[in-house]
Amino acid sequence: MNNNQVDNNTTDLVSAVDISSYPIISDFDPLFFDNQGDEIEFLNSLAQNGVNTIRLRLWVNPSNNSSSLQEVKEFSSQLKSLGFKIWITPHFSDTWAHPGQQQIPAAWESFNFEQIKNQVYSYTNLIMNEIEPEYIQIGNEINTGILFPHGNIENNSGQFIEILNQGVNAVRSNSADTKIILHCAGIENAQWFFGNVNEVDYDIIGISYYPIWHGKSLNELRIQLNELSDSFGKQIMIAETAYPFTLDWNDWTNNIVGLENQLILPDYPATPEGQKNFIKDLKNLVTEVSNGIGFCYWGAELIAWDGENSENGSVWENQAVFDFSNKELPVLTEFNLE
């Protein structure tokens, strides 16, 4: 095996990073370094440290090419050539979708509900044909629904299920192997949410877990993941997580995490070792859960790529997996699941 390729035959566990912004960042041609200070190619670093899966967001008609089908298809092809498995996260939106925002794509705004369902099927079918991912989500953080107002759980719970089923049917008609993920942000109300989608034919429960938003008790997380696994009999993973290695910044863009009261203290300070230990304990936790299959680190690539004076750069550079000198951080050693 080429040392710069991923060996996907050794484990069924998922050791993933979301690096959706890397195509943009790579245009700035930053240099990256291993922990000895020698220059290393970014994707090779991930592979050599045990990452086996890459998660990529997909927007319908973004304002620029970022996270477009064309960009994601091209990047996925490059990643596959290196041996990575591909995990696609369609937001079914032209921009970010999450519990507080499930904005319908502009080109779909005039569609009635039947047309929306047909569009979800055809769009998901297109993704499957163009990219052939190993994993695919039906929406991103869909706690409150999808494609508002049509799939708002509160007002249109039946339509929400119908939309999900259209996406599922498109996946199943193309592949018997691609795993379908339903993704919920946090553990609060997760039992309720997955109870509501119990009739949907999916494979994996995906949970976002960020201490700043979803609680600071790993023990409570363990309890809730076990209960979800026991209740629904699905494989389960942490679909998004991250942790800071510092509370400092490397550009003039305000960071999302920058205060000590956003951390889990004293166990996990904002230091390289604190970041490493957080991921180590989270990895061990989820793989010890019944049906637990792994985790995904969000924003692994989000260094301050636009320069130290940028006010429109990275809100996440203190949570990336490379430090402010673009040198590998100790957390990368925790992506090896063997």
Q: What per-residue confidence (pLDDT) applies to 11?
A: 55
The per-residue pLDDT of the chain, averaged, comes to 96
pLDDT one-digit tens code per residue, 191-210: 999 999 999 999 999 999 99
pLDDT one-digit tens code per residue, 86-137: 999 999 999 999 999 999 999 999 999 999 999 999 999 999 999 999 999 9
DSSP string of 46-91? Answer: HHHTT--EEEEEE-SS-SSSTT-HHHHHHHHHHHHHTT-EEEEEE-
Nearest Cα to Cα of residue 250 among 148, 187, 324, 336: 324
Reported as type and span, the H/E element at residue 196 is: helix 190-196
Provide the residue type at 186 as one letter.
Answer: G
298's tokens: 């969000």
pLDDT one-digit tens code per residue, 213-249: 999 999 999 999 999 999 999 999 999 999 999 999 9
What's the DSSP call for residue 105?
Answer: P
Mean pLDDT calculated for residue range 5-15: 66
CA 25 to chain CA centroid, Å, is 18
Q: What per-residue confidence (pLDDT) applies to 32?
A: 98
Structural domains of the chain, ranges and CATH numbers in brackets: 14-335 (3.20.20.80)
pLDDT one-digit tens code per residue, 43-64: 999 999 999 999 999 999 999 9
Reported as type and span, the H/E element at residue 184 is: strand 179-185
Using DSSP, state whether 245 is helix, strand or coil.
coil
User: Is residue 167 over pLDDT 90?
Assistant: yes
Q: pLDDT class for 337, splitting at 50, 70, 90?
A: confident
Euclidean distance between CA atoms 300 and 98, whole angstroms: 19
Q: What per-residue confidence (pLDDT) applies to 8?
A: 45
Euclidean distance between CA atoms 225 and 237, whole angstroms: 9
Q: pLDDT class for 9, splitting at 50, 70, 90?
A: very low
Beta pairing partners, 240:
208
Beta pairing partners, 208:
185, 240
Q: pLDDT class for 3, splitting at 50, 70, 90?
A: very low
- Percent of the chain residues topping a pLDDT of 70: 97
